[in-house]
Structure 1
Amino acid sequence: MDTIRLLLNLLWLLFQGWLLALAYLLAGVVACLLIVTIPFGIASFRLAAFVVWPFGRTTVRAPGAGVASALGNLLWFLVAGWWLALLHILSGIAFCLTIIGIPFGIASFKLAAVGLFPLGKRVVETAPPRQWMRAGSGVVDGAPAR
């Protein structure tokens, strides 16, 4: 499973990841020019690292993200989020024109939602999928089921 993720990430980086990362880095640099928008820059840099290598990782809501994150996301959406999401959507459509590109298109569509509202989210590793559970044994992949 890790080999497939590695291959998908390498192809993603070659075809789209580097361009999207540059867009997020540009947004982060612009956001860091003003002191009050540094949190937006930090979020943008975090997402730049995520869009370079997205397979095997996901975003989750950060604990303690409250009203400030929601208001920040609204401001982010108005200033930078919509055009970053537009890049994801356009590239996702282009990828979905070929059968081989569909997994990349789906990943791009998922990243569009993250690009719209990045504040209050953390990037985490995804757990490898469980193969299957042996009927009645209570054992999954050689380990006791919980």
Structure 2
Amino acid sequence: MSESLELVCPHCQAINRVPTARLHDGPSCGRCGGAILPSEPVSVDGAGLQRLLTRDGLPVLVDFWAPWCGPCRAFAPTFQQAAATYAGLVRFAKLDTEAHPDAGARHQIRSIPTLALFKGGRELDRVSGALPAPQLRAWLARHGL
């Protein structure tokens, strides 16, 4: 039997068990049929983020941002491109701290943009500020990604 991961569907929040050998095959949700590992960041609210952090088998990189923040908007294409590059290896999520201030407060977000990397529900590292693509890749590489 091959090793598998539990993955949260970004569309319906269902938990799907996916063999690790099939992560790059574009798995679909057993409940709603949506792509489980989209190649773009997933927008989450506080509850959706908590479900990703506690139930998803992949590392989760969260971009805590706000629509009024210029550096956040400037960083968005870099984050989008990284999500496509790391699809199946890292789950990319965006949390709008303006719309969901309780979730930002729960994670002690003091400045935006802030990137926080989680694995198994535990925060591994965080960095504040909009990173250029090479720095983002280097930061992820330091964590074995």
Please indicate the TM-score interval, normalised by the length of the shorter structure.
Answer: under 0.3
The structure richer in strand per residue is 2
TM-score by length of 1: 0.25
TM-score, scaled to structure 2 = 0.25
